[in-house]
Structure 1
Amino acid sequence: MENKKGSKDGQTPKVADVDAALDYLNRETATVMTEINEKALVRKLDLTIVPLMWACYNLQYLDKTLINYANVMGLQEDTGITGNQFSLLATLFYVTYLAFEFPTGYLMQRLPTAKYLGANVIFWGLMVTLNSAAKNWAALATLRALLGCFEAAVAPALILVTSMWYKRSEQPARVGFWYVGTGTGTIIGALTSFGFQHYESDIFTPWQIMFLLFGLVTIAVGVLTVIFLPDSPMSSRLTREEKIWAIERLRENQTGIENKHFKLYQVRDCFTDPQTWLIALITITSNIPNGAVSSYQATIIKGFGYTSKETALLSIPSGVVSCTAVISAGLCGAKFDARGPIIIIILLIGGILGGSLLAFSSPTDKGALLAGNYLTNVIGASLPLIYSYSAANYAGHTKKVTMNATVLISFCLGNIIGPLTFRDADKPRYLPAKIVIVASTAVSLVTTAVLMAYYRWENRRRDKVHGGIAHRENSEFFDLTDRENKEFRYRW
């Protein structure tokens, strides 16, 4: 009897169907890896791969939020756009970001992953650079839309790269290390904004210089990514032994490394999987606050009664809080190999406590308002753990790519809704938008608890039904989905 992978049940699938890692191992002689070898290899990966991933994500966050700083530096006045048009700029980015997720996921599977990522970094850097020449709404809107198209590749590519190189227990920390770029991006953006507000020229405005500088830096990082970030362990600059070790140590993940064959049945498997819809809902509801905070951070602080320069400096602690939360969450996730419980703690601190302080404190209590504003930056630390869910609990390359796109589409939906809650009619307090932060976080928190319960129930069911199943040699690299592989167990 033929199964969906074109092989006989219980036998090895066709060569075209298996993971590229298995094909590589079949052509090489196995070598013994000691604990010392593995630690040295992981250290080497951490020093060569993680910094590039951080640089890409740091610039991705910084470049899309530069408009936030430019707004308090005179962007609206210089280009003649209204407050509602500015809100649409924030939304427009996520609309095209969303639209390109599935196409970019397909291309990422068919093309060399790191090269595709690097090319997109170069192109979005070009869009940021051209913002320095934008004079009106039409130019800003066009560049913002194109920025979303190219930035759509970064998060799914980095999730895929992380799953190619690290064990499931190692992934939360590594995702946290590159996702901390959101916090460092906030700090760099705030300091740069403050510095450029002291710049005066009859030729260029401060915000134009800022766009030009970071656009050129992004292009340079894109070139470095193309040159130095490996597409997979098999095509990396590692030694032959290190390549084999890098592959062999990921057997326990049971999620594979790479397969260039697009499999439609795995797409269906993804969208009929209950965890997909639960993770999507968590992502949407936790990113409604993120969309509001990332696009309106400076505007919210300025609304407390501070000047533009004071606002830039007061935005720096937001980045520090974000960095601290992301690194702490990633390290705790790696130490306890847990995601859901940490997400719940993050949402309680950032969304419930921070959002409540922001929404319900007295308008004259600047201390409480600032504290609430800073704490809302903790919410973003839940996203790398959601990315880690996608990396750890989805097997089958096409299914992984599809889920990565789904997570990022959900991320976009939350970030589209978030800025729309900030209306000109609600200035300067934006109370309805702040109440939405609390409400959406509560929904995300409850859904996370449901997802954890589902994983525990499904693992117990598999232990009961498939507990005595015999292991199939090399099945870790058969490109089976997590639901096809009866040995697979979910991390919660």
Structure 2
Amino acid sequence: MDTKADIVVDARDVDEAFYAVKHQKEVGETTNVDEKRLLRRIDLKLMPLMFMCYFLQYSDKTLINYAAVMGLIEDTNMPDNGFSHLAIAFYCSFLFFEPIQAFCLQRFPIAKWLGANVICWGIVLCMNCVARSYAPLVVLRVLLGVFESATAPSLNLMTTMWYKRHEQTLRTGYWYQGTSIGPAVSSLIAYGFVHWAASSPDANFKPWQVLFLLYGLITIVTGILVLLFLPDNPMKSRFSHDEKIVAVERLRENQTGIENKHFKWAQFRETLADPRTWILSMIVVSTNIPNGAVSSFSSIIIENFGYNQYQTLLLNLPSAAVAFVAVLLGTWWAGRYNARGIAIIALVTPTIIGGALMAWLPPDNKAGLLIGNYLTNTVGASLPLMYSWIGANYSGHTKKVTMNAIVLMSFCVGNVIGPETFQAKSAPAYIPAKITIVAVLSVAILLVLLLDYLIIRENKKRDQAGLVDMPANYEFMDLTDKENRNFRYLL
């Protein structure tokens, strides 16, 4: 029987996988590839490098947090509020270049583009060790934001290219764990360098300089490995022909496609006109105001509780443990029970409690203040759930790329606002900043509930209308979730 798929002749209009599957029979009839075994191989090929990219992306941008208690502020004669302005410089450049990165990610091979950016920011990081004044630090932070802005959208897109929708949340959690393991590793390394400096006071290099150089070199090596070994998509991987077909066919049920290199203005406009886009954007902004503040100021907050630099570096470790558990439980729960909204609320609530403890406990209650600081680290675990929400609910490659850019730009806005709530005039308690944590996260919970309501209402409408006849292989025709009325949204 003739189908609409037979009249599609312009390769730009369909998904990259369309012609790979068009002439294939059912997977079970053409191959003996074991899907579970293939999934394990995909995990081994992708997850270690994806984890390292995000581990380094988070570690490299927050090294300045540890360098601040290792002498960076004094050695560079940093002005008042200069530390806050460094965080803003990073996120402003990140924000400005995110749309450019999104465009490049659609036009160029994703893994190759990611690898090139990783190498570039590794070089920038190495250059921090020779910065002797404040101005070069600002320039380097701007460049770091430019190159690191490629990381999250690249990893988000690669996750949707390889995994089923119910698998994506947990896999996003795997590579996102770099944000929790990164601070633990950085704290221990920084602690070692501080002790080394104390035993070698005449050393030419300061401990914070060695820290930047070490991470910069590791980042460059990782970028080279990404260029060499991370596949751009299933069709261009080093798997066998049958394995490639299975890797593609198993994603048919997603109805979100794999990749399309042609930018479609209609999909771009559809993304901007979708109310869910801006609700999700506001959720990301509101959850990243406290996240940006805590990630940039955690060491300074702890130090202001009355601890020395050695104690401060070690007392950062429980924060990493809290973040690790939050990401693990949050992504597991959301993926298993299709409950991203509920999981986000569950992760935001401890941070609200933590912000309240830090704001209103007396200054001499160090234990309570520390617990409050640790609890604020759960909010960061909400971001991978929002990443996976995009991958699961936005179909059409241009629409996915555009939504990734909007969410990452929203992430930047939150992280620009966050450090600004920590003004020098409110030191050392920073009470206004801690009250802000409570206020904006309360708004985030209301927005999550609204988004869940809209998703449930739309799915009910589509269920009542019933399934629509579609052409063969429509799952790989790069249709948007709005164009494909058989598409159902995940919570």
Q: TM-score range by the shorter chain?
A: over 0.9
Q: Name the counterpart of 1:100.
A: 97
Determine if the alignment matches structure 1 residue 159 to structure 2 residue 160. no
Structure 2 match to 1:384: 384
Deviation, 1:192, is 1.0
Per-residue CA deviations over 1:157-211 (Å, capped at 9, x if unaligned) read 0000000000110011000000010000110111111111012243100000000
Q: What CA distance in whole angstroms lies between the structure 1 residues aligned with 2:340 and 2:188?
A: 32
Q: For residues 25-81 of structure 1, what are the alpha-carbon distances to aligned partners after superposition, in whole Å with 9 as ceiling and x for unaligned?
A: 236665428998111111111111011110000000000000000000010100111
Q: Counterpart of 1:479? A: 478
Alignment partners' CA distance in 2, 1:256 and 1:13: 18
Q: Which moved more, 1:472-481 or 1:54-63?
A: 472-481
Which residue of 48, 53, 73 corresponds with 2:50?
Answer: 53
Report the counterpart of residue 181 of structure 1 in structure 2. 178
Which residue in 2 is equivalent to 1:366? 366
Deviation at residue 105 of structure 1 after TM alignment:
0.3
2:455 and 2:489 in contact (8 A); partners too:
yes
Residues 402-460 of structure 1, C-alpha deviations (whole Å, 9 max, x = no match): 00000000000000000000011011000000000111111111100000000000111
Cα displacement (A) at 1:146:
0.2
Q: Secondary structure at the match of 1:199?
A: helix
Tell me which residue corresponds to 2:18: 22
Residue identity in the other structure for 2:146: C
Partner of residue 226, structure 1 = 227
- 357-366 vs 129-138, greater mean Cα deviation: 357-366
- Cα contact 2:177–2:324 (8 A) shared by 1: yes
What residue is the counterpart of 1:450 in the other structure? Answer: 450
Cα contact 1:76–1:83 (8 A) shared by 2:
no
1:361/1:369 contact within 8 Å kept: yes
* Alignment deviations for residues 129-158 of structure 1 (CA, whole Å, 9 cap, x no partner): 000000111110000000000000000000
Could you tell me which amino acid in structure 1 is paired with residue 278 of structure 2? W
- Using the TM superposition, give the Cα deviation of residue 24 of structure 1 relative to its aligned residue in structure 2, in angstroms: 1.8
2:68 to 68, 71, 81: 71
Unaligned runs of 5+ residues in structure 2 are none
SS at 1:48's partner residue?
helix
Q: Is the 8 A contact 1:89 1:140 kept in 2?
A: yes
Counterparts of 1:120 and 1:266 in 2: how far apart (Å)?
Answer: 27
Report the RMSD for the aligned CA atoms in angstroms.
1.6
Unmatched tracts of structure 1, length 5 or more: 1-6
User: What is residue 268 of structure 1 aligned with on the other side?
Assistant: 269
Report the TM-score, using the length of structure 2 for normalisation.
0.96
What is the aligned-residue identity percentage? 50
Task: Tell me what 1:141 maps to.
Answer: 138
Deviation at 1:472, TM superposition (A): 2.6
Pick aligned residue for 2:166 from 166, 169, 174: 169
Distance 1:83 1:99, change over 3 A: same
Name the residue aligned to 1:429. 429
Aligned mate of 1:84, from 81, 86, 95: 81
- 1:288 offset after TM fit, Å? 0.2
* Rounded Cα–Cα distance in structure 1 between residues aligned with 2:485 and 2:287: 32
Q: Give secondary structure in 1 for the equivalent of 2:81.
A: helix
Distance 1:35 1:61 in 2: 41
- What does 1:344-363 correspond to in 2, within 5 Å? 344-350=345-351, 352-363=352-363
Partner Cα distance (1:315, 1:35) in 2: 50
**CA displacement 1:94-114 (0-9 Å, x = unmatched):** 000000111100000100000
Does the 8 Å contact 1:81/1:137 carry over to 2?
yes
Contact 1:30–1:244 (8 Å) recurs in 2: no
**Normalised by the size of structure 1, how large is the TM-score?**
0.96
Closer/same/farther in 2, CA of residues 13 and 334 from structure 1, 3 Å limit: farther
Q: Is the contact made by 1:124 and 1:147 (CA closer than 8 Å) also made in structure 2?
A: yes
